[in-house]
């Protein structure tokens, strides 16, 4: 009987981008069950709450599955707030999936993979290179472009673009209020 391969694709996903979705889709060719782990990571000061990020990731994954050929792998989305290696072990995962966009990502990811291997040599880290059309996309750049009024529709799903635009409108309104209060 073949072994059931479980993988974890961790991230903050603040917000989830088309690049993340590409890695998720491609990771399903490597594992039988993929757990997309949404890190709580409140210390990073995310734009969206964990619950909002979970909802965005789940919605985008559901749409991706509905619109993509199914290779038989299942995908689950979970929040986590423990050490990644502990989350992987708790999830019975034998593989951690990491996406690489550029050489600058490699050094950090290489160090992280080394530390994770020291914590648990039974869990492998697999790197997937970003597709050429997604290499430049990062959540940080998407937020910056959107906050400054740029078009982000090519980088995120329509639902995520809408959520970002709504959040930026609230920020702009609150910013205007605080400026008025300070001038009085």
Q: What are phi and psi of 173, to 5 degrees?
A: -65, -45
Identify whether the C-beta of residue 116 lies closer than 8 Å to the C-beta of residue 96.
Answer: yes
The active-site residue out of 134, 139, 143, 157 is 139
Tokens for 109, please give them: 């990811």
Residues facing residue 44 across a β-bridge: none
The active-site residue out of 101, 147, 153, 167 is 101
CA 1 to chain centre: 33
The active-site residue out of 20, 98, 134, 143 is 20
- Does 101 participate in catalysis according to the annotation? yes
Token look-up 């991706």 returns 64
The active-site residue out of 44, 133, 154, 177 is 44
- Does 4 participate in catalysis according to the annotation? no
Q: How many CA atoms lie within 13 A of 59 on its CB side?
A: 17
- Does 157 participate in catalysis according to the annotation? no
- Does 139 participate in catalysis according to the annotation? yes
Q: Is 135 helix (H, G, I), strand (E, B) or coil?
A: coil
Active site residues: 20, 44, 101, 139
């Amino acid at each position: 009987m073949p072994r059931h391969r479980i993988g974890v694709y961790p991230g903050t996903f603040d917000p989830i981008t088309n690049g993340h979705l590409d890695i998720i889709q491609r990771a399903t060719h490597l594992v039988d069950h993929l757990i997309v782990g949404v890190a709580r990571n409140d210390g990073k000061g995310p734009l969206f709450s964990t619950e909002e990020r979970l909802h965005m990731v789940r919605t985008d994954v559901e749409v991706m599955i509905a619109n993509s050929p199914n290779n038989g792998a299942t995908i689950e989305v979970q929040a986590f707030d423990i050490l990644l290696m502990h989350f992987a072990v708790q999830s019975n995962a034998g593989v951690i999936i990491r996406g690489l966009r550029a050489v600058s990502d490699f050094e950090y990811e290489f160090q992280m993979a080394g530390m994770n291997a020291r914590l648990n040599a039974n869990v492998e880290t697999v790197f997937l290179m970003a597709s050429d059309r997604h290499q430049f996309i990062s959540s940080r750049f998407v937020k910056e472009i959107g906050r400054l009024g740029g078009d982000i529709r090519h980088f995120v799903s329509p639902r995520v673009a809408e959520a970002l635009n709504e959040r930026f409108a609230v920020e702009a309104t609150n910013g205007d209020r605080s400026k008025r209060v300070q001038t009085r």
